[in-house]
Amino acid sequence: MVESPLQSFIDTCRACADRHPEPADAVSAIAPHMHALLETAGSFLKPEHLRADPAHYARNAIYIAPDSSLSLFAIVWTPGQWTPIHDHGSWGVVGVLRGILHERSFIRTDVDRGRDEDIDLHRGGVLLLTPGTVTSFVPNPDHIHITGVPEDAPPVVSLHLYGRNMDSFHIYDVATRSRQRVNVEHNES
């Protein structure tokens, strides 16, 4: 029996992560596989993976490993939807299927990166991720950014693979110079 492109991708990513415990090496090994997966997405994406939510971007689970070591989501963004400023506490590889996903980075400049108060964040660069683009991130110790779609842009669909079950992350409040860990919801598929 021929293995599905999705299962092959999951198996390959698990093997890459096992062989490369250093996050930068893991994402380097996985990125070409995400690029290939984008070309076969039509063969495994189901209608429930492409659900949108008018209130906020929609995180649609495609795969969550039983041991929480990997998770893959299809994220659907409609115009004007953005994440909060956040970090992941994990490595990740992202591929864009449709539309242009905007990513705006932030740089944390305070010395004690473990604390949740007195955080100094400064705006960094901007990436415009087009269909077929693959990007990645590693905790350094924080990869802090905001992602989304401007009001006047078409919807976006992107695939996000994380090195853990992405069920929580830190969100940052620039005005109060603080962060807090929050649980994040997703749609089951």
List pLDDT tens digits, range 85-128.
999 989 999 999 999 999 999 999 988 778 899 999 999 999 99
CA 123, CA 105: separation in Å to the nearest integer? Answer: 6
Structure tokens at 76: 């659907």
Residue 93 is assigned to a structural domain of this protein: yes
Q: In Å, how far from its chain's centre is CA 181?
A: 16
**Which tokens in the block code for residue 95?**
């591929």
188 in a domain, yes or no? Answer: no
What was the pLDDT predicted at 135? 97
In a domain, 189, yes or no: no
Closest by CA position to 126, among listed 148, 93, 158: 148
pLDDT of residue 126: 96
pLDDT of residue 2: 61
User: Would you call 186 helix, strand, or coil by DSSP?
Assistant: coil
**What are 6-26's pLDDT values in tens digits?**
999 999 999 999 999 999 999
pLDDT of residue 140: 74
178 located within any domain = yes
What's the domain count of the chain? Answer: 1
Question: In whole angstroms, how large is the CA radius of gyration of the chain?
Answer: 16
- Mean pLDDT of the 147-159 span: 97
- Looking at residue 146, which CATH number applies to its domain? 2.60.120.10
Beta strands at 168-173 and 86-87: parallel, antiparallel or unpaired: antiparallel
Confirm whether 169 is domain-assigned.
Answer: yes
- Which residues form the domain of 175? 5-183
